[in-house]
Amino acid sequence: VIIQKGGFKMSATGGAGTEFTMIEIRNITVTGSSTSAGALQFTYVDYSIIENCRINNSGAGGSIRFINSEFNIVRSCYLEGAYGFYLESNSRYNQIINNYYYKASGGSRAIRLVDSGSKHNVISGNYISGWPGAIDINTTGYNVVSNNILVNQTGGAGGPGAIALENTSSNNQIVGN
């Protein structure tokens, strides 16, 4: 499957019984998404697997963005472009594992966790190269960041450097990076 110029957005209303569950997205390529939602955006989407995907030149909304989504797995994906991966607004218990992030231009962070409700996520085994900031944990806690390879983090351009804990972030485990 190839998605070009526009990306993919999936959302539910967020009440009991309305969430999408058990969605599997494998072996897709997304090129040239310029929307504010990003290349792949999921709102109230739980228990999904995104695997072996390639995303090139994502828009300001990020390559992959989860909003109010839980228990999702993103693994073995290749993301190249201006913006990376976002977990925000109560996105919990997600796994971001064994992905490759290469920054081509613009943007500031490869992986960003934002919001006090975005907890208990695992960011592990990722290769991140050339970003002003590799991993940004902002106003959240109880996440695990482990065994990531961080190469050529430039700082500046709005990026916090390799790994940043911002605002009231606490109780995060950061080990082996």
Q: What are the strands of the beta sheet with 95-97, ordered from one edge?
A: 24-26, 49-51, 73-75, 95-97, 122-124, 144-146, 173-175
Span 115-173, pLDDT tens digits: 888 999 999 999 988 877 788 888 889 999 999 998 877 665 555 568 888 888 889 99
Distance between CA 62 and CA 81 in Å, rounded?
9
User: Does 96 score more than 90 pLDDT?
Assistant: yes
| Letter string b/e over residues 56-84, b meaning 16 or more CB atoms within 10 A of that residue's CB | bbbbebbbbbbbbbbebebbebbbbbbbb
Q: What percent of the chain has pLDDT over 70?
A: 71
**pLDDT for residue 31 is more than 80:** no
User: What's the mean pLDDT in 60-82?
Assistant: 84
pLDDT of residue 18: 42
Q: Which tokens in the block code for residue 134?
A: 């590799």
Q: Which DSSP string corresponds to 66-128?
A: EES-BS-EEES-EEEES--EEEESS-BS-EEES-EEEE-SS-SEEEEEESTT--S-EEES-EE
The three-state secondary structure class of 7 is coil
The answer to which of 33-42, 76-85, 109-118, 119-128 has the lowest mean pLDDT is 33-42
Cα–Cα separations (whole angstroms), residue 5 to 38, 64, 157:
10, 15, 26
What is the structure's pLDDT at 160? 58
Decide if 101 contacts 123 (C-beta within 8 A): no
Banded pLDDT at 16 (limits 50, 70, 90) = very low
Tokens found for residue 123: 């960011």
Contact between 134 and 153 under an 8 Å Cβ cutoff? The reply is yes
- Give the count of alpha carbons within 13 A of 99, CB side only: 28
